[in-house]
A and B are shown apart, each in its own frame.
Chain A
């Protein structure tokens, strides 16, 4: 039984990692705590839902669509909205993203209705059993995609020019500008990537559970915990934070009680903020308050 619980936790953790990674990246690089992250993820869920429901396109094939659409969405939002106030106090940014959350949630409620939706392809619910441990295929696929995407993100940030520029901007804004990096552009790309990753996680979410515009806040909260646990701006950090959160949720719900799992997850976040505010893999400079 405990093995099953652990496997469940790791599979769930993969999803948390993906929703956390974009959030953490945006926070770490641009210093924006994007309270609309969950709402943006849900846009991805709806893209998958409508493509599956109306065009009968396999939900996994819709992933690149949600990635691209939300990349563009994120780019435009940062370019024409966030960049206007990015130099203002952090409080202004919070208000702006909070406003965006409210706008998006109401937008979705108006146009997609407040009904709960879920995507259930024919192969949903199929699973393999290894030594008494059941592993559902869809969750395994979600987990694998999260791993791959996170690895690609890590590679992108380490090896490509744009990735290096993003890291440079997050480490030292002024030095980065001196070498010819345009922070406006980098901020836009980072936010676009964050949104695209949120969209991906939203698309995958539609496969494993029911969603409506009103769960946006809950998703943002998960992303928040993952980012704090793992350390801001670091892909590996979000990955570790996600897995940790998944395992902690399932194990604590088994040993202590399902109803306490939120309390434990938040307790852990507070504990982390006290003992190591930079997160498990956080380092100096990452997410230092710049204003």
Chain B
């Protein structure tokens, strides 16, 4: 009996060993339930599509041999601390050192500390906080344009429009991310020669912004920039209309890019600008999917809905991880893969990706979308614009 058990045990070990050898296994602790469930699952959709496409092509090519891909998932229940523990489990128990990032700055912040500690690698397409890259980490690479550069492109786009806007009001939610976006917007506004007439914060999750709107109205700015979250963005648009505040341009860091924006605001969402990490219409080539357009098509075929930037970020992070592994010619030597990532310079569906020494993406820029006739239209960069922007914004009906 003992011998039989031993044999079975040995057989299992060999099988699982063989299994591990033929496959490259990535790990991810995502928010599949809880308050970030939606975003977490969207990122997972991106990972899954990538896995399917890569495996259909025979897998990742490492030194001439093709390896199939698998991803081991855990659910962090939208709790960054739990995420950190699960990543530790992935590394120590499941022996996985290639970690695909979770969604959300807090989760990436917590989990990347674990990957750093154990010398594992993380590529993430789900967090944009600057603080991720100020800790001197070597093993974290992120493809989201960071918070402080979020509103840069939108302000540059508007600076030479006719009639020329000269004053900007910036209002922001007082959480870390939005504050950084706002500070970045303020310095960008000054860089492009605008006069910042109002720089006002408000508490996160606020239910009423009538006082802030009254203050904006008092300044009568040409551009209103809102740096907050979906909920406050809706309140700002509604109350701008309520109180007849009519800027030449109304732009937000978060909100207009989400499909719920038009559903929630109906006609009042018209002509609002939004900053986007990624849009469906960007015409980038991609080493795995062929191009961004192809990615969108495949995503739609698999999930019966359009991808948004969460899924695209997930897929792109995985693509970049894959390309780095292929270039390094190994999936076990972390130092070599890291070096390949540091020297990375390729066009992907997410844009032209290069990393600086801290691991954050540089020079990718943000696309600008505008809600026109109830749909998101990419209006900037002009080279890939889908439609002509409406400026100045007509007064509320």
Give the chain B neighbours of A8 by CB distance below 8 A. Answer: 208, 210-211, 214
Q: Let me know if A116 and B244 touch, CB within 8 A.
A: no
Q: Let me know if B268 and A214 touch, CB within 8 A.
A: no
Q: Let me know if B265 and A258 touch, CB within 8 A.
A: no
Q: Is A182 an interface residue (CB 8 A)?
A: no
Contact with A along B218-238 (1 / 0, CB 8 A): 100000000000110111001
Stretch of A58-66, A160-168, A188-196, A249-257 lying at the B interface? A249-257
In the A-B complex, the 7 residue pairs with the closest CB atoms: A125-B241, A210-B234, A118-B264, A136-B242, A8-B210, A258-B202, A253-B211
Total count of chain B residues near the partner, CB < 8 A: 39
A114-B35, A114-B37, A210-B234 known; A120-B268 Cβ under 8 A:
yes
Q: Is A234 an interface residue (CB 8 A)?
A: no
Give the chain A neighbours of B267 by CB distance below 8 A. Answer: 120, 122
Q: Which of the residues B209, B239, B243, B265 comes within 8 Å of A120, measured between beta carbons?
A: B265
Q: Let me know if A210 and B241 touch, CB within 8 A.
A: no
Number of A-B contacts (CB under 8 A): 115
Contact residues of A with B, CB < 8 Å?
1, 4-5, 8, 11-12, 53, 109, 113-118, 120, 122, 124-125, 127, 129, 134, 136, 138-139, 205, 208-212, 214-215, 218, 222, 249-250, 253-254, 257-259, 261-262
Contact residues of B with A, CB < 8 Å?
35-38, 174, 200-203, 205-212, 214-215, 218, 230-231, 233-235, 238-239, 241-244, 260, 263-268, 396
Q: Let me know if A116 and B200 touch, CB within 8 A.
A: no
Q: Let me know if A1 and B214 touch, CB within 8 A.
A: yes
Q: Pick from A116, A122, A215 the residue with the most CB of B within 10 Å.
A: A116
Q: Pick from A1, A120, A129, A215 the residue with the most CB of B within 10 Å.
A: A120
Give the chain B neighbours of A1 by CB distance below 8 A. Answer: 214, 218
A114-B38, A116-B230, A134-B242 known; A4-B214 Cβ under 8 A:
yes
Q: Which of the residues A109, A114, A205, A258 comes within 8 Å of B200, measured between beta carbons?
A: A258
Q: Let me know if A12 and B208 touch, CB within 8 A.
A: yes
Complex: A186 Cα to B130 Cα, angstroms: 56
Give the chain B neighbours of A209 by CB distance below 8 A. Answer: 207-208, 231, 234-235, 238
